[in-house]
Amino acid sequence: MSINPFSLEGKTAIVTGANTGLGQGMAIALAEAGADVCVVGRSEPSETLDKLAATGRKSHSILADLGSADSVEAIVSDAKSALGGIDILVNNAGIIKRNDSIDFTFDEWDSVMNVNLRTLFFLSQAVAREMIAADTGGKIINIASMLSFQGGIRVPSYTASKSGVAGLTKILANEWAKHGINVNAIAPGYFATNNTAALQADETRNKEILGRIPSGRWGKPSDLGGAAVFLASSASDYVQGITLPVDGGWLAR
């Protein structure tokens, strides 16, 4: 009998920033594929936990401020204790600050870089150490952005951080592939979430955005599920260091 290479049965996953939106969509997709899931964020992800429970998989939540890398060791220890190990890490948590580059402040720079890049790196490092010690290999999935490819406007720290995520994905893949750890990234396009509600409500901007997307619609959080499951599963064992756009064709236009 053939084994489904996309199955995550018997696997455990950490997903950061999974209270709503894209993180929630990926957490649910991983659970539906068979993984037990630990979600990490600043507030209790009640809705996500209810949805995970509906899949029949084990779930666990960890409250942590990802603006500081000080919480990393506790997150890994708690997740390992709750689920028995760590096979998959999805670094989804991220924040954005908008201001003209000429007026951008130290705080607007540091707060974004701390969550989007610094904690992402040190959480990846801590999880990789566990994977190496257990000699099990694993999957690390970073969430990049269209601004890993483009410059954008009025979001200098976000663009720098997401360009950094694409670069870190490559170097960590280079260093950790020998340990059986795959490190890849997903770059979401324009998705209908709380973060983009203002853009969707702006008739002119909404029309401009949809006019550039060949698929002709905003993405749904569930649209990221397939990419997340692929990169978390043995189907992607020979995929390393990529940043996979899931953008309805935005970059192709």
Q: Is 158 a catalytic residue?
A: yes
In this prediction, residue 2 carries a pLDDT of 60
Angle at alpha carbon of residue 81, lines to 227 and 68, rounded to 5°: 70
In this prediction, residue 27 carries a pLDDT of 98
| Stated pTM of the model | 0.96
Alpha-carbon distances, residue 170 vs 128, 229, 237 (angstroms): 15, 20, 15
CA atoms of 68 and 40, how far apart (whole Å): 13
CA atoms of 233 and 197, how far apart (whole Å): 32
In this prediction, residue 50 carries a pLDDT of 97
Please list the ranges in the chain whose pLDDT falls under 50.
none
Q: In the sheet where 243-246 sits, what is the strand order? A: 59-63, 36-41, 12-16, 88-91, 138-143, 181-188, 243-246
Among 38, 36, 48, which Cα is nearest to 14's? 38
The residue annotated as part of the active site, out of 158, 176, 190, 250, is: 158
CA atoms of 249 and 82, how far apart (whole Å): 39
Tens digit of each residue's pLDDT (9 = 90 or more) over 168-202: 999 999 999 999 999 999 999 999 988 788 889 99
Among 172, 161, 153, 46, which Cα is nearest to 94's? 161
Question: Tokens 């990846």 sit at which residue?
Answer: 124
- Please tell me what DSSP assigns to residue 241: S
Q: Architecture of 12-246 per CATH?
A: 3-Layer(aba) Sandwich (3.40)
* Residues 90-128: b if buried by 16+ CB within 10 A, e if exposed: bbbbbbbbeeeeeebeeebbebbbbbbbbbbbbbbebbb
Q: Which three-class secondary structure state does DSSP give residue 191?
A: strand
Cβ(143)–Cβ(188) below 8 Å: yes
Give the start-end residues of each E strand in the chain: 12-16, 36-41, 59-63, 88-91, 138-143, 181-188, 243-246
